[in-house]
Structure 1
Amino acid sequence: MKLLTVNVGKAAPVPYTDHPSGKTGIDKLPVEGPVRVAAPGVAGKGPGGVEGDSVCDQRVHGGDDQAVYAFAREDLDRWEKELGRPLRNGFFGENLTTSGVDVSGALIGERWRIGSAVLEVTCGRIPCQTFAGQVGVEKGWQKRFTQEGAPGAYLRVIEPGEISAGDMVEIVHRPDHDVTVAVQFRAATLDRSLLPRVLTAGEALHYEALENARKYVEK
């Protein structure tokens, strides 16, 4: 299991984002390492994540629980075949493009050591309007991506450090529950009956996902 590339994006104006700035950093490109990874400090505020990466819309990206986004090269390859066009590393907005890692099959709270950093899985990526615009001509992209059920994983930074393309991805902790990224994603999008099960992941969940699951169960 390894890190193929570290990808960062610069804020650029696009016609398809609903962010007030009119800009997005979703279109990421591989960069030479080592690259520093740090915790933002306060959920939804302040710098952090992958050094040099622009996070324009912190309503849905960035912050403690979405500091870094990982997506598997194997899933990009599958979408290449379905869409009939090449998809380079970073095109889906991922900071980390991995090989040999079942990213969407990772457990919520699972920890990865990459280089000198330790990252913890928090939730799946919900496809947004900006993502649909980035992909371009594909109709119903958000629905198609959701139905595929392999959203990639957001991670929080447990131990800041430096990462580089080619670093091994070592699983250093696996929690004692069965809530994967794919299960959490399906609960948040297509099957709310799974939300009580999602609660067993506890505080490792993205704080909003945890709060939404709690409210659903209380009702």
Structure 2
Amino acid sequence: MAKVVAINISKEKGIPKEQIEKGTFVENFGLEGDAHAGDWHRQISLLGQESIDKIKALGMEELEAGNFAENITTEGITLYELPIGTRLKIGVTIQEVTQIGKECHQRCAIFHTVGDCVMPREGIFTRVIQGGLVLPGDTIEIIEEDR
């Protein structure tokens, strides 16, 4: 069963996000209070705990949810294999996959430490179709795949 491990937020772009107890996701905007929220295609970023664990295994055991600047840390779903257009029910929200990975213009501290970073390959982005509250432990379901 796929689930939310953590909800993460930052007031500024370009810094790791901090874990919060719950997140309010706003339709066509993103996570309330997050620097990346807005009317664009990358409102929410997601990364799997499994991806984080790959980098931890390279010697960065101290990594935790939010260190890759992801809004939602997940478990039990291979995010980067989802086709663009897939709709996910995350807690009470509905989110649509808009982008898989991203170009890394400036190598982050994680890359410089271990020689790799998974976010550019395995992180995904969504836009909020239906807003609501999301909590760690909430389930994630694929409700529609665009193939």
Does the 8 A contact of 2:45 with 2:123 survive in 1? yes
Cα separation, 2, equivalents of 1:161 and 1:118: 9
In structure 1, the partner of 2:113 is 138
In structure 2, the partner of 1:88 is 64
1:5 corresponds to 2:44: no
Matched residue pairs, number? 146
1:107 is paired with a residue of what secondary structure?
Answer: coil
Of all paired residues, the percent bearing the same amino acid is 27
In structure 2, the partner of 1:160 is 131
1:122 is paired with a residue of what secondary structure?
Answer: strand
Name the one with the larger helix percent. Answer: 1
Shift of 1:79: 0.9
Larger RCO (alpha carbons 8 Å, 6+ apart): 2
Unaligned runs of 5+ in 2: none
**Over aligned residue pairs, what C-alpha RMSD do you find?**
2.4
Shift of 1:107: 1.5
Give the letter for the 2:30 counterpart.
G
Unaligned runs of 5+ in 1: 12-23, 41-47, 56-60, 178-219
In structure 1, the partner of 2:32 is 51
TM-score (structure 2 length as normaliser): 0.86
**CA deviations over 1:177-212 (Å, ceiling 9, x no partner):** 2xxxxxxxxxxxxxxxxxxxxxxxxxxxxxxxxxxx
Cα separation, 1, equivalents of 2:65 and 2:40: 24
Name the one with the larger strand percent. Answer: 2
Larger radius of gyration: 1
Cα separation, 2, equivalents of 1:127 and 1:134: 16
State how 1:88-127 maps to structure 2 within 5 Å: 88-127=64-103
Shift of 1:106: 1.1
TM-score (structure 1 length as normaliser): 0.60
1:75 corresponds to 2:51: yes
Does the 8 A contact of 1:10 with 1:25 survive in 2? no
In structure 2, the partner of 1:32 is 21
Residues 52 and 25 of structure 1, relative CA distance in 2, 3 Å threshold: farther
